[in-house]
Structure 1
Amino acid sequence: MVNTLVPLPAPCPPGRVPEVCLVVGDAGAAVRIAPLAGAMAAGGRVRPVVLVCGHGAGAATAALAEFRVGTDVTVALAADGQPTTAAAAQLLAGLDRAFADRLPDAVVVQGDSATAFSAAMAAFWRRVPVVHLDAGVRSFDLTAPFPQEGHRRLIAQVSSLHLAATPEATANLAQEAHTGPKVVTVGSTAVDAALDAVERRVAHADPRVRQLADAVAAGYSRLVPVVLEAANWSASAVDAVLHGICDLVLATPDLEVVLPATGGLRARAEEALGRLVRVTITDPLPQPCLLGLLSTAAAVVTDSVTLAEQSPSFGVSALVVGGESGTWTEPSRPGYPWAAGADRAVVARITEKLVLSRRPAIPEQRVADGNPFGDGLAAARCAQAVQWLLGLRERPGEFVPARP
């Protein structure tokens, strides 16, 4: 295999099922790893071992449980608030001990977090093949996002198998000389998670959200979920987006907004939007409930790349907010999100455009086959690619987005 830094494992002896460690560091990674864990368990040719670690271990465990995936190993950090370097050192040591206690046949890391980077290095140093899920995401600027762009590139250097979600990600890897059979375009497992969650139709615990969802499904109202992490935003940027949502609601009489939030974001949301009847501010929603709302939405406003990848499966346009105030871009192709800086007027104007371009409809009428990020079969392709890496089957076919 071209450019494989870690020797491929020898075939397992008869009767032994290879163990593949799936590393999860936060709730976002859990959404993308859970479908892969399920596909591996269902296939039976490898045994998934789910390891959660870092400060986000509790949230990751809860998110995995929402997708009916259990946790096998936990690597905890001593305390919050320590410097990044100290946390990374502690995490590396903990992961190394975990791999020593239960040496896996391969380790799967997702994305570009410090957890993913630490797990990749710990596995590499023990000569365990590294599989990178969501490989090939690039800004080509080491300062933005920092340090994530550096993590992406460094993980690529020690990976034996790159699972790229889209052809664009595969092309990015090719620019860095990561080519050949070890790069597989699989689609986004986040799309698999969305379709699975909506199919299960989990009821909303909050009666306000349940009543609103019924009204939207019946066609009485339009819905815009506003889902923000805003972890690295300034207070002024958060306020600009929230006031843009306020302007949107006032300008669209049949529009309902659901905004899950906690902590400082919730306080600012209550201040900016709490007096509006058609805005429902809730505690953070379980992923299946949130995705159920997304499936009936007229549009979604978010800073989550995951939601932006999931929304086209339901024919829902996404506005991804963040970045420089006053800027905005149209999608480069159907299904891709709009983007806007944290600007009150821009957020209100673009979201209103997206909302008015679509009428409410029941979920069965909204599922689209043209999601450029995935088709719901990404986890199966990923599981097959890992089996191929371990010498258990032929290399799988690749994801090819539908033409617009």
Structure 2
Amino acid sequence: MDPIHRSSEVPASLAGPGAAGRRDGVGGGEGRGGGGRAALRARLAGTRRQGEPLVVLTIFGTRPEATKMAPVILELARRPGVRVQVAVTAQHRQLLDQVLDLFAIRPDFDLDIMQPRQSLTDITTRALRGLEDVLGQTRPHLVLVHGDTTTTLAGALAAFYQQVAIGHVEAGLRTYDKYQPFPEEINRRLTDALCDLHFAPTPTARDNLLREGIDPAGIFVTGNTAIDALLAVVKPDYRFRRDELARFPAPGRRLVLCEAHRRENWGKPLEAVARALRRLVERNPDVELVYSVHPNPVVAETVRRHLEGLERVALLDPPEYADWANLMARATLLLTDSGGLQEEAPALGIPVLLLRDKTERPEAVAAGTVLQVGPHEEPIVREAERLLHDPEAYRQVAQARNPFGDGQAARRTADAIEYAFGLREEPPEPWDPGA
């Protein structure tokens, strides 16, 4: 597959001098570790000619990746010694484009791989083939991937095949159950095994990497860039792009938001979630429910069968990120199986009911910002009504300290990249949730 090249559309802020010539890879048969950070810095700095800009190719394909990578891209673009380029697979086309427009990021390369009812194999093979061509054209010093998607793994694997250094934003999250979440857990583990630089959002994520034998020289605790993005778009005077959203919540009502779509919840688990939501609305006349319905037909058909036409229920196509973030700021409660929303909602003081049996973000559960109920009808209804009717229980969850970041994760990530490649002398101070 030939990538769609869009370099003429790259904003001036993302442009930089070109990088000429083929570069040596960073693989070279070297073992990991072997001298700590000095050895790592020498190896990475050796891939860049004196005076040549550091070329960083960011790769992503879905809305969550784009949301969390946008602050890093914009931060790197401000660094005079760095040239950042953007390649998207468009694994999720429409949802991805919403975030690109919001942050004014125009990709250099757009593979546009999305097809109806695409399988994981479809996504992987099309992304891997297209990214091989992109890497051949860009010759980056560092490929930067994010999180846990199929694009993440394909991007890391494509870079590994070209012996290009790889950095993983949001590294080290684990459940240690390879099927929960599916396929994200294995995507994360395989990606981390391939990477040279690991940007762990929390000390817990760092400790996971260390237990797995990842070279500590390449691990940096940064906080999560989701908080950076959230704080950039949530505003008291925000005007919704979709007018229908401005009416929520109606006077005298409390807004409950839901976003649930993960593959491991398809079928009976999602049926149970939908039944619980119906009961919650019917039993609590002051509650109105807004469900952001994922476009996947498996999800949409289940949700609409149980909830469509019900009074005080709105089933919406996924709102743009800024609209959703500001709608979340108005909510009383969030029910989700999403990973990122476990980080974002607590930053706004919104309690989260997690519709999963296992989470790669145990910090939120330990901190009390997330209550893990799983995709099970009775626990969902019970815990939701407890929070809705017990002000003290609600206060304890809403006011718990968010362990995921302070809005400076993108800066720490960019500082760490510059440090690893010899463009600055000191590493960033690590994010410390307890400080």
Please report the TM-score for the alignment, with normalisation by the length of structure 1: 0.86
Q: Equivalent residues in 2 for 1:331-350 (5 A)?
A: 332-350=365-383
The question of whether the paired residues in 2 share the 8 Å contact of 1:23 and 1:51 is answered with yes
Q: Equivalent residues in 2 for 1:2-401 (5 A)?
A: 2=33, 7-10=43-46, 11-14=48-51, 16-53=52-89, 55-77=91-113, 84-85=120-121, 87-199=123-235, 202-213=238-249, 215=250, 220-261=252-293, 262=295, 263-323=297-357, 332-357=365-390, 370-393=401-424, 394-401=426-433
Cα distance per residue 1:309-335 (max 9 Å; x no partner):
1011111111111349xxxx9964334
Cα distance per residue 1:276-301 (max 9 Å; x no partner):
33222222111111110111221100
The question of whether the paired residues in 1 share the 8 Å contact of 2:200 and 2:222 is answered with yes
Residue type at the aligned position of 1:48: V
How far did residue 42 of structure 1 move?
2.8
The question of whether the paired residues in 2 share the 8 Å contact of 1:6 and 1:129 is answered with no
- Percent sequence identity over matched residues? 28
How far did residue 370 of structure 1 move?
2.9
Residue type at the aligned position of 1:339: Q
Q: Which 5+ residue runs of structure 1 have no aligned equivalent?
A: 360-365
Cα distance per residue 1:349-381 (max 9 Å; x no partner):
11122233459xxxxxx9979310111111111
Residue type at the aligned position of 2:381: A
How far did residue 39 of structure 1 move?
1.4
Distance 2:220 2:299 in 1: 39
Cα distance per residue 1:197-232 (max 9 Å; x no partner):
20385422444421124x47xxx3321111122444
How far did residue 235 of structure 1 move?
3.5
Change (3 A) 1:266 1:348: same
Distance 1:297 1:190 in 2: 18
Q: Which residue of 2 aligns with 1:362?
A: none
Residue type at the aligned position of 1:100: G
Residue type at the aligned position of 1:387: E
The secondary structure found in structure 2 opposite 1:311 is helix
The secondary structure found in structure 1 opposite 2:402 is coil
Residue type at the aligned position of 2:129: A
Q: Which 5+ residue runs of structure 2 have no aligned equivalent?
A: 1-31, 35-39
Change (3 A) 1:90 1:400: same
How far did residue 100 of structure 1 move?
1.1
The secondary structure found in structure 2 opposite 1:61 is helix
The secondary structure found in structure 2 opposite 1:109 is strand
| RMSD of equivalent CA atoms | 3.0
The secondary structure found in structure 2 opposite 1:43 is coil
How far did residue 242 of structure 1 move?
1.6
Q: When the two structures are aligned, how many residues end up with a matched partner?
A: 388
Please report the TM-score for the alignment, with normalisation by the length of structure 2: 0.80
Change (3 A) 1:330 1:390: closer
Change (3 A) 1:84 1:332: closer
The question of whether the paired residues in 1 share the 8 Å contact of 2:182 and 2:263 is answered with no
The question of whether the paired residues in 2 share the 8 Å contact of 1:55 and 1:80 is answered with no
Cα distance per residue 1:44-99 (max 9 Å; x no partner):
43222111015335532332222332212112448556764465344223212111
How far did residue 110 of structure 1 move?
1.0
Distance 1:239 1:300 in 2: 18
Distance 2:286 2:311 in 1: 11
Moved more, 276-285 or 160-169: 276-285
